[in-house]
Structure 1
Protein backbone atom coordinates (compact mmCIF):
# COMPACT_ATOMS: atom_id res chain seq x y z
CA UNK A 1 0.00 0.00 0.00
CA UNK A 2 1.13 3.51 -0.65
CA UNK A 3 -0.25 6.68 0.83
CA UNK A 4 -0.34 10.34 -0.14
CA UNK A 5 -1.12 13.41 1.89
CA UNK A 6 -2.99 16.39 0.50
CA UNK A 7 -0.74 19.35 1.29
CA UNK A 8 -3.56 21.88 1.73
CA UNK A 9 -5.82 19.79 3.98
CA UNK A 10 -3.56 17.22 5.67
CA UNK A 11 -5.91 14.43 4.55
CA UNK A 12 -4.04 11.13 4.27
CA UNK A 13 -5.28 9.05 1.35
CA UNK A 14 -4.64 5.60 0.01
CA UNK A 15 -2.96 6.11 -3.35
CA UNK A 16 -2.19 2.55 -4.40
CA UNK A 17 -3.47 -0.76 -3.08
CA UNK A 18 -1.26 -3.75 -3.73
CA UNK A 19 -2.22 -7.04 -2.13
CA UNK A 20 1.23 -8.49 -2.67
CA UNK A 21 3.43 -7.46 0.21
CA UNK A 22 0.55 -5.88 2.13
CA UNK A 23 1.03 -5.65 5.88
CA UNK A 24 -1.49 -5.44 8.70
CA UNK A 25 -0.18 -2.06 9.83
CA UNK A 26 2.02 0.73 8.54
CA UNK A 27 4.14 3.24 10.45
CA UNK A 28 4.39 6.56 8.62
CA UNK A 29 6.54 9.55 9.54
CA UNK A 30 4.66 12.72 8.62
CA UNK A 31 6.42 16.07 8.58
CA UNK A 32 4.95 19.56 8.50
CA UNK A 33 6.81 22.78 7.83
CA UNK A 34 5.95 26.47 7.78
CA UNK A 35 9.13 27.33 5.88
CA UNK A 36 11.10 28.02 9.05
CA UNK A 37 10.19 25.31 11.53
CA UNK A 38 9.53 21.62 10.94
CA UNK A 39 7.80 19.07 13.14
CA UNK A 40 7.32 15.34 12.66
CA UNK A 41 4.71 12.91 13.96
CA UNK A 42 4.42 9.16 13.62
CA UNK A 43 1.13 7.90 12.18
CA UNK A 44 0.05 4.27 12.45
CA UNK A 45 -2.36 3.01 9.81
CA UNK A 46 -4.00 -0.32 10.64
CA UNK A 47 -5.49 -2.32 7.78
CA UNK A 48 -8.88 -3.61 8.93
CA UNK A 49 -10.56 -6.57 7.34
CA UNK A 50 -7.39 -7.63 5.55
CA UNK A 51 -7.58 -11.13 4.14
CA UNK A 52 -3.93 -11.67 3.30
CA UNK A 53 -3.40 -15.34 3.96
CA UNK A 54 -4.93 -18.48 2.53
CA UNK A 55 -6.02 -21.24 4.87
CA UNK A 56 -3.45 -24.02 5.14
CA UNK A 57 -4.21 -27.63 5.99
CA UNK A 58 -1.96 -29.16 8.65
CA UNK A 59 -1.22 -32.04 6.26
CA UNK A 60 -1.03 -32.03 2.49
CA UNK A 61 -2.57 -35.47 2.02
CA UNK A 62 -5.15 -37.33 4.07
CA UNK A 63 -6.25 -40.95 3.84
CA UNK A 64 -9.43 -42.24 5.42
CA UNK A 65 -10.92 -45.70 5.56
CA UNK A 66 -14.53 -46.48 6.36
CA UNK A 67 -16.32 -49.78 6.85
CA UNK A 68 -18.82 -50.61 4.13
CA UNK A 69 -21.64 -51.12 6.62
CA UNK A 70 -20.99 -47.96 8.67
CA UNK A 71 -24.22 -46.16 9.60
CA UNK A 72 -24.98 -42.70 8.23
CA UNK A 73 -23.41 -40.00 10.37
CA UNK A 74 -20.39 -42.12 11.28
CA UNK A 75 -17.24 -40.05 11.76
CA UNK A 76 -14.78 -40.85 9.01
CA UNK A 77 -11.99 -38.36 9.68
CA UNK A 78 -11.21 -34.95 11.11
CA UNK A 79 -8.92 -32.58 9.24
CA UNK A 80 -7.35 -29.43 10.60
CA UNK A 81 -6.27 -26.14 9.02
CA UNK A 82 -5.04 -22.73 10.13
CA UNK A 83 -5.29 -19.20 8.75
CA UNK A 84 -2.89 -16.43 9.84
CA UNK A 85 -5.42 -13.64 9.25
CA UNK A 86 -6.90 -11.95 12.30
CA UNK A 87 -10.57 -11.75 13.23
CA UNK A 88 -13.29 -13.05 10.94
CA UNK A 89 -10.87 -13.51 8.03
CA UNK A 90 -8.90 -16.00 10.11
CA UNK A 91 -11.90 -18.16 10.96
CA UNK A 92 -12.18 -21.45 9.12
CA UNK A 93 -15.48 -23.18 8.44
Structure 2
Protein backbone atom coordinates (compact mmCIF):
# COMPACT_ATOMS: atom_id res chain seq x y z
CA UNK A 1 0.00 0.00 0.00
CA UNK A 2 1.38 3.43 -0.97
CA UNK A 3 1.73 6.02 1.79
CA UNK A 4 -0.58 9.01 1.58
CA UNK A 5 1.00 12.34 0.66
CA UNK A 6 1.45 14.89 3.41
CA UNK A 7 -1.46 17.27 3.97
CA UNK A 8 0.64 20.25 2.86
CA UNK A 9 1.41 18.59 -0.47
CA UNK A 10 -2.26 17.84 -1.08
CA UNK A 11 -3.27 21.40 -0.17
CA UNK A 12 -0.56 22.92 -2.37
CA UNK A 13 -1.61 20.71 -5.27
CA UNK A 14 -5.25 21.74 -4.83
CA UNK A 15 -4.34 25.42 -4.67
CA UNK A 16 -2.15 25.10 -7.78
CA UNK A 17 -5.01 23.42 -9.65
CA UNK A 18 -7.47 26.13 -8.62
CA UNK A 19 -4.95 28.85 -9.52
CA UNK A 20 -4.58 27.37 -13.00
CA UNK A 21 -8.37 27.41 -13.43
CA UNK A 22 -8.75 31.12 -12.63
CA UNK A 23 -8.42 33.95 -15.13
CA UNK A 24 -5.30 36.07 -15.15
CA UNK A 25 -5.59 39.51 -13.64
CA UNK A 26 -6.25 41.50 -16.86
CA UNK A 27 -5.70 44.94 -15.32
CA UNK A 28 -2.42 44.05 -13.66
CA UNK A 29 -3.59 45.95 -10.57
CA UNK A 30 -2.59 44.60 -7.19
CA UNK A 31 -4.93 44.65 -4.21
CA UNK A 32 -3.36 45.87 -0.98
CA UNK A 33 -3.54 43.88 2.26
CA UNK A 34 -5.80 46.56 3.70
CA UNK A 35 -8.23 46.21 0.77
CA UNK A 36 -8.15 42.42 1.14
CA UNK A 37 -8.90 42.56 4.87
CA UNK A 38 -11.70 45.09 4.27
CA UNK A 39 -13.38 42.73 1.82
CA UNK A 40 -12.89 39.64 4.00
CA UNK A 41 -14.37 41.39 7.04
CA UNK A 42 -17.43 42.69 5.20
CA UNK A 43 -20.55 41.46 7.01
CA UNK A 44 -22.40 40.76 3.73
CA UNK A 45 -20.35 37.61 3.19
CA UNK A 46 -18.64 36.10 0.17
CA UNK A 47 -21.75 35.23 -1.86
CA UNK A 48 -22.94 38.82 -1.95
CA UNK A 49 -19.51 40.43 -2.21
CA UNK A 50 -18.16 38.20 -4.97
CA UNK A 51 -21.25 38.49 -7.15
CA UNK A 52 -21.09 42.30 -6.95
CA UNK A 53 -17.44 42.60 -8.08
CA UNK A 54 -16.46 43.39 -11.65
CA UNK A 55 -14.38 40.71 -13.35
CA UNK A 56 -11.31 42.93 -12.91
CA UNK A 57 -11.90 43.32 -9.17
CA UNK A 58 -12.67 39.62 -8.84
CA UNK A 59 -9.35 38.83 -10.55
CA UNK A 60 -7.54 41.25 -8.21
CA UNK A 61 -9.18 39.61 -5.19
CA UNK A 62 -8.30 36.09 -6.36
CA UNK A 63 -4.71 37.18 -6.92
CA UNK A 64 -4.53 38.80 -3.45
CA UNK A 65 -6.04 35.70 -1.85
CA UNK A 66 -3.59 33.44 -3.65
CA UNK A 67 -0.67 35.58 -2.50
CA UNK A 68 -2.06 35.53 1.04
CA UNK A 69 -2.37 31.73 0.96
CA UNK A 70 1.30 31.55 0.00
CA UNK A 71 2.36 33.17 3.30
CA UNK A 72 3.32 31.34 6.50
CA UNK A 73 0.17 32.58 8.26
CA UNK A 74 -2.67 33.15 5.78
CA UNK A 75 -5.94 34.73 6.84
CA UNK A 76 -8.12 31.93 8.31
CA UNK A 77 -10.93 32.28 5.75
CA UNK A 78 -8.67 32.91 2.74
CA UNK A 79 -9.01 29.40 1.25
CA UNK A 80 -12.80 29.53 1.60
CA UNK A 81 -12.98 32.94 -0.08
CA UNK A 82 -10.58 31.77 -2.78
CA UNK A 83 -12.67 28.70 -3.57
CA UNK A 84 -15.86 30.77 -3.63
CA UNK A 85 -14.15 33.32 -5.91
CA UNK A 86 -13.07 30.61 -8.32
CA UNK A 87 -16.64 29.29 -8.42
CA UNK A 88 -17.92 32.81 -9.14
CA UNK A 89 -15.33 33.21 -11.90
CA UNK A 90 -16.40 29.90 -13.48
CA UNK A 91 -20.06 30.83 -13.16
CA UNK A 92 -19.44 34.03 -15.12
CA UNK A 93 -17.43 32.28 -17.82
CA UNK A 94 -20.10 29.68 -18.57
> Is TM (by shorter chain) over 0.5?
no
Q: Which has the higher contact order (CA 8 A, sep 6+)?
A: 2
What is the TM-score normalised by the length of structure 1? 0.23
Larger Rg belongs to: 1
Give the structure-2-normalised TM-score.
0.23
